[in-house]
Amino acid sequence: MLRLPASSLLLPALNVSLAIVRWDFAGLAALATLATVALLLATIRSSRKSESVPRHDRRRRSARGRPDARAALALVGDALAATHNPRALVPVILDVVTEATGASGARIVSDGEELGWIGEPGGRNELRLDLSADDETTRTELVLYPPPEGFASDTKQLAEWLAAQAGIALENARLHDLVQRQAITDDLTGLVNRRRFLEVLETELEQAARLGGSLAIVLIDLDDFKGINDRFGHHSGDRVLEALGALLQHHIRDIDLAARLGGEEFALLLPEIASSDAVHVAERLCRSLSERPIAWVEGNALSSTASFGVAHYLPGDSGEDLLRLADDALYRAKGDGKNRVRVARQGRAA
């Protein structure tokens, strides 16, 4: 994916760096910076050829207020290594590249959709530079619009170097963002996973304790889910889980959080909500599941019910306390016949 110059100058640095890179979030961030630095070294070597131009040409370029190739490359390298957020990189790229090349304006366009612009885009003789990775199906371009005097040949070459570096940074940022989202998201339902749910629960508990706010959690477990898998197959079971995830998202507020904890067990985190309102949310979901099929697979109507356990935060409760209380209430709902809501209060299931 990354096309690094086959230069003997880069090999020792790359070998040492790759030996210490860990393949986690920090590892991807390190690779992004490594790619930036490697390309920077290679392009600086190439840019030395431009340093042999007559002194008066260099003065003219300095008088126009643009940095030389080495300064521009160092500037864009520092800027692009500072963030791994794809959305944040777009304005950085536009700002740095227009500053370095003296362009009157610039745009970044992906398959015809404008991702960002700066200056005065428009006019003729624009310079189009490809930012797409080799394996991308979409085409992303950096479009530079020339100043009144146009782009000099060495400026065009500088723009190509900067675009190559920007393309690598964008691809690494995209991969970094993808891996981060995969680490906190359940692949099947698109809800957050257990790990992320517990992280957000602790954050909300700290805020509730500090500000005196309210908080409730709801644990949800599908009733007799194994029977769906046994009768219709695991593919149908997956469709039911997906449908339940969509139903949860439909019934909660923007500030709420829905999660799949594992298997057929789901959870809701409901900040700033009264205990009675949290119960109403669970009861509404319970009715929605029992009143109509949750999914249709190959002409088969798949129906399911669920049991619900609700726990409301009281001062001094920990995340573990709330989960235990909600779990106790959930299993009381199971024991009382399923397809119902039970509530835990003050350490007791009610």
The sign one gets for the Cα dihedral 45, 49, 55, 59 is negative
For 172-203, the pLDDT digits (tens) are 777 777 777 778 899 899 999 999 999 999 99
Query: Which residue among 149, 160, 264, 298 is the active-site one?
Result: 264
When mean pLDDT is compared across 14-28, 212-226, 228-242, 327-341, the lowest value belongs to: 14-28
Secondary structure element (H or E) that encloses residue 312, with its range: strand 306-312
d(Cα 2, Cα 99) in Å, to the nearest integer?
26
pLDDT for res 79: 58
Mean pLDDT to the nearest integer, 33-42: 43
Contact 84, 177 (CB under 8 A): yes
Position 186: which residue type?
A: D
For 296-323, the pLDDT digits (tens) are 888 888 999 999 999 999 999 999 999 9
Contact 158, 76 (CB under 8 A): no
163 pLDDT exceeds 90? no
d(Cα 127, Cα 40) in Å, to the nearest integer?
22
Contact 93, 80 (CB under 8 A): yes
Answer yes or no: 291 catalytic: no
pTM exceeding the 0.85 threshold for the entire prediction: no
Contact 80, 165 (CB under 8 A): yes
Question: Residue 224's closest CA among 329, 343, 339?
Answer: 339
When mean pLDDT is compared across 115-119, 176-180, 189-193, 210-214, the lowest value belongs to: 176-180
Domains along the chain? Answer: 11-181 (3.30.450), 194-349 (3.30.70.270)
